[in-house]
Amino acid sequence: MDDDQVAATAGVPETSVTVGEVHGVRFTVAGEDSPDAEAELLITGLFAHHPPDQRYGGALGRLDEALRGALHGLGRDHLFAGQRGETLLLSAPPASIAARAVLLVGLGELDDWNTEAAAAVAASAMRETLLLGVASVRFAPWLQDGGLTAAATRGTAAAMLAGARRMLEARPRGAPPPILRQWIFAPGLEWRDVTIQELRGAPAA
């Protein structure tokens, strides 16, 4: 499959596609979507004020099931509010999760979501990733599973890539290279309005 074919179905590419490399960290869009996909760290996002009587659907719901209802329980019990930039590390997930840990990142209020929020969330995720010192990450916010409409996800992919890159490039001059080597964006509808060429067109560091 060439780039044009991938871009035409950029929501869920059939194969993993590399979109850029910054400071030795390769950014890719995954070719499949599964909560148990291999990576040292799985990052997902939760919006604030999710109705306590409403279960998550789609991939986010499957992750919640794999975590034995932890995502739903954290919100219901007010242990994770989902405020933008808030983070919580689940360091010992069940064996059904391939990742060694799951990092929750707050997405803020549904009504406040925009490209600025998307960039800020990805920057927070990258900051925590660098602090944790892991080599591979799967970043899977699953925005629509969390309640966002398809229209509201437009521009999200490019903004998230920019936010993650900005945090990576903000490392102090002369700092040792990051342990991180692979950042995988999970596929999802938030990628449908962004072509692979546009992502690759971001200026290199």
Q: pLDDT of 110-156, one tens digit each?
A: 999 999 999 999 999 999 999 999 999 999 988 888 888 888 888 88
**Percent of the chain scored above 90 by pLDDT?**
38
- How far is residue 49's CA from residue 83's CA, in Å, rounded to a whole number? 9
Q: How far apart are CA 102 and CA 93, in angstroms?
A: 7
Q: pTM to 2 decimals?
A: 0.85
- Token pair of 178, please? 């990051």
Tokens of 170: 């903000």
Distance CA 6, CA 13 (A): 6
